[in-house]
Structure 1
Amino acid sequence: MKISKKDALEWFEYLSSLSGDKTEVYKRFSPVIESTIRQIELSVNKKHEDMKNEISDLKTLKGRTYFVGDQQNFPKGCVSCLFGDGLGGIRKTHKCNLLCKFCYYHDNIDNQESIPDGMWEIGETLFYEDDIDLLLSIQKKPSGIAYVYLEPFLEIEKYYGIIKKLSDAGIYQHMYTNGSLCTRENLKKLGEAGLNELRFNLGAVKCSDQVIEYMAMAKEYIPMVGIETPMTPEFYEAFQEKKDKILKTGIDFMNCAELHFGEDNINNYVGERMYVARRGYISPLWSREITLKLMKQACDENWGMVVHDCSNHTKYSRELNKNSKQGQPFGATTYVSEFDRFLPHLFLATLEDENFKFIEEEELPEELKLENCQEEIEFLVVEEEDEMYDGFFDDEDEEDNE
């Protein structure tokens, strides 16, 4: 079924107006919802393909991701993620010195569970640093690991020892930072400990001149240095203003992350045009479009660094690869939505946009036309609301009410 944009808008406006638990409504009319989401995605995919066709030197890593530039500068942490054991994260620092609009922890950043002193979270298990030798002697070492969650430079002195242990074991290591707490001293110590790759979230600091200088400094000590940041209009504007200075740092790559939403950052973006990629991540339409614009610009202007399309497609490939390496059944994936419920109002801006067109449309069958379904929907909603009160009082409360 290829629902028309007009019918899709009418349905989603109506679904957004309903109150209470609408689980049964969504289940009963899932063909309408699924068709709408798919129609939006098809249109978005067509726009992306048209933009990719305008990039003169677009390259791919076996179809798993896209990039432009010299493949020698492609981030090896991403190679590990897409072809190795997946994205193995080591967690230590549960705080950040900044609060970014796009942060996946935004609404709960002050409530993140801490890692006990002297311990590290690896594979959802807590280890003492002294346990690392034992772990490496028993389990197969990963192709690579990443230091994630949240800003490691808040306590960077705690990282040198574990980086040295894993470096001696021959494990490729990369780290994420917003860069605002870097110094020549801590960058040098990271390089001496054996960190292979450092990624700066330049969008978090609005392309700060100081952090750009730290990127150049990091290149003196760490083999691979690059940018990894969600693509937002704010970043695009700031990057264009500082482009020449950024390119002069000699960094190797820029990972253009397609921003996606979860429970803790969605409130900052309600009202933006959105789509769902492969029934999983929800993203704003402009995010990957910014990536593709930058990739074209990099080709046209010969930037000299890799620009990598870290898109929802790439993350989908990442999850397929990870599951295959973990012995999951053929086709198994953990690429899913960050939300445990459907939120029709998130897609109203897309459907209301007169310039956003569906590629092909069909008339709805009579049994799925909104005017023929409203009575049934109202019944389902009322029924659900009644069920919400079943068992609300326990036996003692019922006796008191009698």
Structure 2
Amino acid sequence: MNISKKDALEWFEFLSTVPGNKEEVCEEYKDVIESILRQIDLSMRNHHKNLQSKVTKMDTLKGRTFFVGDKNKFPKGCVSCLFGDGLGGVRKTNKCNLKCKFCYYHDNIDNQEAVPDQMWEIGDTLYYEEDIDFLLDVQKKPSGIAYVYLEPFLEIEKYFTVIEKFKNAGVYQHMYTNGTLGTEEDLKRLGEAGLNEIRFNLGASNCSDKVIEFMRLAKKYIPMVGIETPMTPEFFKSFMEKKDLILSTGLDFINCAELHFGEDNLNNYQGEVMYISRRGYISPVWSREITLELMRMASEENWPIVVHDCSNHTKYSRELNKNSKQNHQFGFHTYYSEFDRILFHLFIPFLQDDRYPFVIEEELSEKYKLENCKDDILELCEEEEEEIYEGFYDYQEEEENI
């Protein structure tokens, strides 16, 4: 079924106004709803291919991701992610000194569960620091790990001995930071401990001069230095104002992360034109557009760095690679939506936008024309609400009996 954009808009506008839980509606009308989501995805895939065609010197890592620039400067942490054992997160610091609009933890950033003193979270499991040597001896060593969640420089002194342990085991290590904290001495100690790569979320500070200079310092002590930040219009504007200064720091790469939404940052972007990729991540259309524009400029102007398209496609590739290493059946993947329900209203701006046409459109059969389905949909929603209330009253009776 290749539903037209006009019919898709009518369907999602109606479904977004229907009250109650829509679980049965989604099951009963799965074909038409899935067709709309697929048409949105196909429309953006076509749009991205058109933008990519304007990027000269486009390179790829076996189709898993795209970049421009010197392949030797491509971040090895990403190679580990896409070809090795996946992104192995090592967690310690549950707080941040900033609160960014795009942060995946935004609405709950002050409520993140702490990692207990003298312990580290590795593989969703807590370990004492003294256990790490034993863990590395017993289990197969990962190709690489990343220090993530949230701002490590709030307690950077806790990281040095752990980094040294992984260095001695021959594990490639990279770290994320917003770069607003820390000293040259911290960078020096990180390099001496064995950190291979550091990534600055330059968008978090709106490309502040202080962070740009901290990046320059980092290159003195840490082999690979780069930027990894969600692509937003605010970042693009500030980056262009300081482009020459940023490129002069000696950094190796920019990972242009395609912003995607979860429960904790979605509210900051209501009303934006969004799409859904492979029935998984939901992103604003402008995020990857900015990436591909930066890649076009980098290629034409011969920037001395790699500009990496860390897109939803790349994250999909990451999940396929990770699952292939875990002995799952052929075709299994874990690239899922951040939401357990379809948020119909999110896609109305996309369906109203003439810049993103559907590639192929066909007329709906009588069975799926909205005017023939409205009464049934409303009836299904009423039945669901009755079931919810009946369950509630049964629960109340049980409580009273107790």
Please give the range of the TM-score, normalised by the shorter of the 2 chains: over 0.9
Alpha-carbon distance change, 394 to 2 in structure 1, aligned in 2, over 3 angstroms:
closer
Residues of 1 paired with 2:314 and 2:144: CA distance?
17
1: distance between equivalents of 2:311 and 2:187? 29
Q: Quick check: 1:343 aligned with 2:340?
A: no
Q: 1:20 to 1:160 in 2, by over 3 A?
A: same
Q: Which amino acid aligns with 1:202?
A: L
Q: Would you say the 8 A contact 2:44–2:356 is kept in 1?
A: no
* 1:14 and 2:14 aligned: yes
Aligned equivalents of 2:329, 2:396: Cα separation in 1:
49
User: Deviation per CA, 1:244-286, whole angstroms, max 9, x where unpaired?
Assistant: 0000001000000000111111111111111111111111111
> Which amino acid counterpart does residue 341 of structure 1 have in structure 2?
R
1:17 maps to a residue whose letter is: T
Structure 1 counterpart of 2:381: 381
How far, CA to CA, are the matches of 1:350 and 1:133 in structure 2? 51
Residue matched to 2:220: 220
- Equivalent pairs, count: 401
* Unmatched runs of 5 consecutive residues or more in structure 1: none
Question: C-alpha separation between the residues in 2 aligned to 1:172 and 1:374?
Answer: 56
Which residue in 2 is equivalent to 1:306? 306
Aligned partner of residue 391 in structure 1, secondary structure: helix
SS in 1 for 2:114: coil
> In 1, distance between residues paired with 2:296 and 2:182?
31
Deviation track 1:156-205 (CA, whole Å, cap 9, x = no partner) reads: 00000000111011110000000000311111110010000000000111
Aligned to 1:35: 35
Query: Residue 117 of structure 1 corresponds to which residue in structure 2?
Result: 117
| Structure 1: distance between partners of 2:230 and 2:396 | 54
Q: Which residue is 2:205 aligned to?
A: 205
Deviation at 1:398, TM superposition (A): 7.9
Amino acid at match of 2:296: K
Q: Which moved more, 1:29-38 or 1:203-212?
A: 29-38
Match of 1:130, SS?
helix
SS of 1:219 mapped into structure 2 = helix
1:74 and 2:77 aligned: no
Q: Which residue is 1:2 aligned to?
A: 2
Pairwise mapping of residues 38-57 of structure 1 onto structure 2 (< 5 A)? 38-57=38-57
Query: Offset of 1:318 from its aligned partner?
Result: 0.4
Determine the C-alpha separation between the residues in 1 that align with 2:236 and 2:247: 15
The residue that corresponds to 1:164 in the other structure is: 164
1:51 Cα offset (Å): 1.0
How far the C-alpha of 1:396 sits from its partner, in A, is: 7.2
Q: Which residue of 1 aligns with 2:392?
A: 392
Identity of paired residues, percent?
Answer: 69
Q: Provide closer, same or farther for how the CA distance between residues 334 and 398 of structure 1 changes in structure 2, counting only shifts above 3 A.
A: closer
Cα 1:7/1:73, change in 2 over 3 Å? same
Structure 1 residue identity aligned to 2:230: P
Amino acid at match of 1:68: V
Task: Report matched runs for 1:173-192 at 5 Å.
Answer: 173-192=173-192
Q: Distance in 2 between matches of 1:374 and 1:395?
A: 32
Query: 1:360: how far off?
Result: 1.6
Q: Which amino acid aligns with 1:198?
A: I
Structure 2 counterpart of 1:263: 263
Q: Give the Cα separation in 1 of the matches to 2:399 and 2:338.
A: 42
Q: For residues 336-363 of structure 1, what are the alpha-carbon distances to aligned partners after superposition, in whole Å with 9 as ceiling and x for unaligned?
A: 0000111000001101113331122111
Name the CA distance, whole Å, in 1 between partners of 2:388 and 2:353.
Answer: 36
Q: Give the counterpart letter for 2:144 in structure 1.
A: G
Give, in whole Å, the separation in 2 of the partners of 1:400 and 1:122: 45
Q: Which residue of 1 aligns with 2:141?
A: 141
Superposed CA offset, 1:66-89 (max 9, x none): 000000000000000000000000
Letter in 1 for 2:27: K
Matching of residues 90-129 of structure 1 within 5 Å:
90-129=90-129
CA offset at residue 394 of structure 1?
Answer: 4.4
* Alpha-carbon distance between aligned partners in 2 of 1:385 and 1:95, rounded to the nearest angstrom: 40
Deviation at 1:24, TM superposition (A): 0.4
Letter of the aligned partner of 1:84 in structure 2?
G
Give the aligned partner of residue 64 of structure 1. Answer: 64
Question: 1:100 & 1:44 partners in 2: Cα distance?
Answer: 27
Root-mean-square deviation (Å): 1.3
C-alpha separation between the residues in 1 aligned to 2:399 and 2:20? 28
Shift of 1:397: 3.7
Letter aligned with residue 120 of structure 1:
W
Q: What is the CA deviation profile of residues 27-68 of structure 1, one whole-angstrom value per residue up to 9, with x for unaligned ones?
A: 111111111111111111111111111111000001100000
- Hey, what's the Cα distance between the residues in 1 that align with 2:57 and 2:396? 73
Matched AA of 2:76 = K
SS in 1 for 2:198: strand
Deviates more, 1:184-193 or 1:27-36: 27-36
Q: String of CA shifts for 1:310-354, please: whole Å, max 9, x gaps.
A: 001000000000001111111111110000111000001101113
- Label 1:18 to 1:172 Cα distance change in 2 as closer, same or farther (>3 A): same
TM-score, normalised to structure 2's length? Answer: 0.98
Q: Partner letter of residue 325 of structure 2?
A: K
Q: 1:125 and 1:224 mapped to 2: Cα distance?
A: 29
Counterpart-to-counterpart distance in 2, 1:384 and 1:62: 47
Q: CA deviation at 1:395?
A: 7.5
Aligned partners of 2:47 and 2:356 also within 8 Å: no
Alignment of 1:256-335 (within 5 A): 256-335=256-335
The aligned counterpart of 1:152 is 152
**Which amino acid is the alignment partner of residue 135 of structure 2?**
L
Distance 1:400 1:79 in 2: 59
